[in-house]
Amino acid sequence: MSRANIRILATGGTIAGSAGSATRRGYRPGQIGVADLLAAADALDLDARFEGGDIAAIGSQDIGWPQWSALHREISDALGDDGVDGVIVTHGTDTAEETAFLLDLTLPAGKPVVLVGAMRPADAVGSDGMRNLANAARVAGDPAAAGRGVLVVMSDQVFAAIDVRKAATGGAEAFRGFPRGALANVTPTSLDWFGPPDRPGRGARFAWPEALPKVAILYAYAGMDADTVGCALGSGDRGIVLAGMGQGNAPGPVIDALAASGVPVVRSSRVDQGSVDRTLEIDDDSLGFVAARGLGPAKARILLQVLLASGYEDPLAMQREFDRR
């Protein structure tokens, strides 16, 4: 069996971070370029050949439209290259779920595309970066990874972009999946899928947009008043995601203000895990709201941005897209 040809695209993050000491608490993300990552990957003696390039050298809290556009362009080029079997994106963990989901919505489910990061910088004692990278290489080089959409590899597990979230601020096992857990267990020497690909041959769900419109996330809390809705609208946001209490709820005056806002409103939840269903305590049909279902606020915002950029206006049409997987 021939060795897989894998293209690594680096964006920075903790996996490329350096503290200057194995035990120092603070560190700077994005200090290690792709050339050093490629050399480190080659030194792991994996069953793969690596090439790659730098997209950015930042902490993922700073990622946005310029980096996303460049990343989508480079991944699309790699997917169209017969000499590339899979793509790895090294990425900070803070917004990995957002980048992965945006790419998942706008790329075909063909060759494997794998995001990978680390919870500890490269020079820290117990760093998880190189193991995660080795695991990502095993996934990206596996033909059975095709047809599953964009994947995220962390802590010896493989997650689908639509399910994955960062659920803890620290620790190597900070990532979880909902409603599905991991799709596979992976180590540098093994890969065990729990089921077959669910999207073989599926093209991109949406075309890559020319730009992403502004969408605000409002975090609901006890005693919240309606002025927060006006603040978001005053900033020119074209949609609002409510990070609501429980099943996407908020105080009555806030709900009334959202209904009168004149922009699409998606109800998500500030709760770490669970689904926001349509028309339980809140009458979404009469108010014109959209229920985020299994998407947390960050991913609900990404999908709403893509829908607005794609010309969606009707809440029921938007709801059908939030109901899809």
Binding residues are 60, 93-94
User: What would you measure as the largest C-alpha separation in the chain, in angstroms?
Assistant: 64
pLDDT exceeding 70 applies to what percent of the chain?
99
pTM greater than 0.85: yes
Say what the pLDDT of residue 28 is: 80
> Which pLDDT value is given to residue 17?
87
Beta strands in 19-96 (DSSP E): 48-58, 86-90
Helix pair 315-323, 297-309: axis angle to 10 deg: 130
Annotated binding site for substrate: 60, 93-94
Identical fold at 4-193 and 215-323?
yes
CATH code of 215-323, in short, is 3.40.50.40
Q: What is the domain partition of the chain in residue ranges?
A: 4-193, 215-323
In this prediction, residue 124 carries a pLDDT of 85
The answer, yes or no, to whether residue 283 has pLDDT greater than 80, is yes
- Please state, rounded to an integer, the average pLDDT across all residues of the chain: 94
Reported confidence tier of residue 325, pLDDT bands at 50, 70, 90: confident
Q: What is the mean pLDDT of residues 63-78?
A: 98
Four-way CATH pick for 4-193: 3.40.50.1240, 3.40.50.1820, 3.40.50.1170, 3.40.50.300: 3.40.50.1170
Helix then strand then coil, in percent of the chain rounded to 5, is 30, 25, 45
Range 153-168 average pLDDT: 97
244 pLDDT band, cuts 50/70/90, is very high
Active site residues: 14
